[in-house]
Amino acid sequence: MSGLFAGFYSILAWIGSIVDPFCGPVGVFRWLASGTLLACGDAGWGDEIAYGFVVTASLAIATLPVGLLIGFFVALGKQSEERTVRLASNIYTTIFRGLPELLTLFIVYYGLQILVQQLLASFGYDGPVEINAFFAGMIALGVVFSAYCSEVLLSAFKAIPHGQYEAGAALGLHRGRTMRLIIVPQLVRIALPGLGNLWMALLKDTALVSVVGLPDILRQTGIAARVTKQAFEFFGMACILFLVLAMVSSIIFSNLERWTKRAEMGR
Amino acid sequence: MSFVETMIPPQAPPPAPPKAYTLARFVGSVTLGIWLALGVGIFLTVVNGWDPAKFAKYGPSFLSGLGVTLMLVACSVVLGAILSLPIALGRMSKNKIWSWLAYAYVYFFRGTPLIAQLFLIYYGLGSFRPQLESVGLWWFFREAWNCALFTFTLNTAAYQAEILRGSIESVPRGQREGAAALGLPERVAFYKIILPQAMIVALRPYGNEIILMIKGSAIVAIVTVFDLMGETRRAFSRTFDYQMYVWAAILYLLMVELLRNIWAWLENRLTRHLKR
């Protein structure tokens, strides 16, 4: 079984190395930067920076579902009829929208470390505990994202007329199916521009996780800058890579928006 | 023939049916309970770990850090507002070159993380030291605080330019035409008719931008500026006391909530003529 997985993984890695836009056979760095500081392999920093690019993108992509899911339920909580639920969700957004992302990250990173350490100490283990920076970043950014996301989703919920829920009830759908079949498709259409902005903010916030040691774009270029003493070039490279990410995601989002609007009449 | 001689005496309404214990109520109690437990837990750790010596040692440095944060945000927002004027004008200008340049500026500063921009300027300009020395600007870029102020100003100028442009373009065309029909010169029309209406639209985004700057300013701690976050990190690295982060969190939350409430009051006050 594990052999199957290993084979599958190696095939994936092989495909990845073929289509790698940086150091693959048709990669940018391999063609344009061989012989310079950005060359691939041991000669330059191309492959390290490419790895950082992958880490940044995968952190943002891994955070997105976490943030969306929490944000959806917090938005539901904010329009609940129960006062306690509303209060609890409002406290959540107030706290996580008010704290700086960096501070949230530190609180999660060190806080989790202390918590896990105390937990393990109560079981009789007191070795050093190291929390994965990727995991801590995912939690911290996901929490911040969900706080903003709940506001976007809340205003989208308010834009859906009450008649839609009543129509669902009249058709005999129970609440979960009304939500899934009637409300959420419209919600996505209304909330997508706001969610696009939040995704851009998330993409930029991932740079903060480099501070707790995640080898993302900024950390890898920072190491390269320190070693080669060419800080301007490497940090400029980091900015360009973030711009590339922003451009790619804006293209994806405008296509998505077109896709969700295909049912509407052309005006 | 019979008729009613007495009215039925008034009776109390039937008792309200007992409220069903729904799932929402259960979830609400549990989540509120979690928040309460967290609040009490934090309070207890603060009370238990209260150390007057620590407070006397780090309290003043927290205050000075708070001052540095506020100073940095205030300076960069004001300078950014000034710098945003030509950028917004460029964005709206019909000249292709100006509008393209302004667009590129805004796209760069909005598309890259603030922390990457800060590194680019703080570490990156260090490699141009001879050139900067010959121009006589090295004394400015040598200080981390100046670099942070410079970066934040450039960054917030890009955001504020977009706010300004959006709000000016949100004023309906009819307002401009009405002013022209009244024979007002373009300048007077802009300052007396377009700008006041635009500023009301821009008020909320400006507030959000200031809040974003307060939150974003925490990253200057990484380039050795001792703002609130920097003082917190220093205190934490000396004491390994997790409370320090709690204190910083409370101070940041206080700042943001205070600003948010002031802004809500301000908006309420300034738009009272629009309410029906």
Lowest mean pLDDT among A10-19, A140-149, A179-188: A10-19
For B168, list phi and psi in degrees, rounded to 5. Answer: -70, -40
- Sequence-distant contacts of A87-91: CB under 8 A, at least 24 apart: A87/B28, A87/B32, A88/B28, A88/B31, A88/B32, A88/B34, A88/B35, A89/A150, A89/B31, A91/B35
C-beta atoms of A229 and B107 within 8 A: no
A87 CB near a chain B CB, below 8 Å? yes
Supply the CATH number for residue A99's domain. Answer: 1.10.3720.10
pLDDT at A151: 94
pLDDT tens digits along B16-50: 888 778 888 888 899 999 999 989 988 888 888 77
* Chain B residues lying within 8 Å of A85, measured CB to CB: 24, 27-28, 31
pLDDT at A163: 93
Chain B interface test: which of A81, A85, A109 (most B C-beta within 10 Å) = A85
Lowest mean pLDDT among A14-18, B47-51, B78-82: A14-18
pLDDT tens digits along A183-204: 999 999 899 999 999 999 999 9
In the DSSP assignment, the letter for residue B274 is: G
Tokens 């521009």 belong to which residue? A193
* Chain A residues lying within 8 Å of B116, measured CB to CB: 207, 218, 235, 238-239, 242
Calpha distance A169→B52 (Å, rounded): 62
pLDDT of A5 over the 80 cut:
no
Angle at A46 between CA A224 and CA A17, to 5 degrees: 145
Shortest distance, CA B161 to any CA of chain A (angstroms): 17
Q: Which residue of A has its CA nearest to B20?
A: A82
Tokens of B107: 């796209």
Shortest distance, CA B20 to any CA of chain A (angstroms): 12
B29 CB near a chain A CB, below 8 Å? yes
Lowest mean pLDDT among A31-35, A88-92, A201-205, A260-264: A31-35
Query: What residue numbers bound the domain in which A233 lies?
Result: 46-259
With respect to residue A40, please indicate whether it lies within any of the assigned structural domains: no
Task: Give the model's confidence band at A146: pLDDT under 50 very low, under 70 low, under 90 confident, else very high.
Answer: very high
Which residue in A88, A208, A247 is closest to B32 by CB distance? A88
Q: Which residue of A has its CA nearest to B229?
A: A103
A80 CB near a chain B CB, below 8 Å? yes
pLDDT at A35: 60
- Whole-number Cα distances in Å, B104 to B98, B110, B160: 10, 10, 15
Question: B65-264 in CATH: which number?
Answer: 1.10.3720.10
Calpha distance A254→A110 (Å, rounded): 38
Q: Is B42 exposed, middle or buried (0-12, 13-18, 19+ CB in 10 A)?
A: middle
With respect to residue A171, please indicate whether it lies within any of the assigned structural domains: yes
pLDDT of A267 over the 60 cut:
no
With respect to residue A11, please indicate whether it lies within any of the assigned structural domains: no
Question: CB neighbours of A191 closer than 8 A, spacing ≥ 6?
Answer: A152, A153, A156
pLDDT at B118: 93
pLDDT at A3: 64
* Chain B residues lying within 8 Å of A89, measured CB to CB: 31
With respect to residue A232, please indicate whether it lies within any of the assigned structural domains: yes
Calpha distance A43→A65 (Å, rounded): 38
Question: CB neighbours of A84 closer than 8 A, spacing ≥ 6?
Answer: B25, B28, B29, B31, B32
Mean pLDDT of the region A216-221: 91
With respect to residue A15, please indicate whether it lies within any of the assigned structural domains: no
Task: Give the model's confidence band at B221: pLDDT under 50 very low, under 70 low, under 90 confident, else very high.
Answer: very high
pLDDT at B243: 83
* Chain B residues lying within 8 Å of A95, measured CB to CB: 253
pLDDT at A115: 84
With respect to residue A22, please indicate whether it lies within any of the assigned structural domains: no
Tokens of B121: 């300027």
C-beta atoms of B245 and A106 within 8 A: yes
A159 CB near a chain B CB, below 8 Å? no
pLDDT tens digits along B80-135: 999 999 999 999 999 999 999 999 999 999 999 999 999 999 998 888 888 888 88
With respect to residue A21, please indicate whether it lies within any of the assigned structural domains: no
Interface contacts A/B by beta carbons within 8 Å: 136
Lowest mean pLDDT among A174-178, A258-262, B84-88, B91-95: A258-262
Chain B interface test: which of A131, A232, A240 (most B C-beta within 10 Å) = A232
* Chain A residues lying within 8 Å of B27, measured CB to CB: 77, 82, 85
C-beta atoms of B28 and A84 within 8 A: yes
Task: Give the number of domains in chain A.
Answer: 1
A160 CB near a chain B CB, below 8 Å? no
Calpha distance B91→B100 (Å, rounded): 7
Mean pLDDT of the region A207-219: 91
B215 CB near a chain A CB, below 8 Å? yes
Helices (H) and strands (E) in chain B, counts: 12, 0
* Chain A residues lying within 8 Å of B127, measured CB to CB: 229-232
What value does the mean pLDDT of chain B take?
90
Task: Give the model's confidence band at A25: pLDDT under 50 very low, under 70 low, under 90 confident, else very high.
Answer: low
With respect to residue A251, please indicate whether it lies within any of the assigned structural domains: yes
pLDDT of B270 over the 60 cut:
yes
A99 CB near a chain B CB, below 8 Å? yes
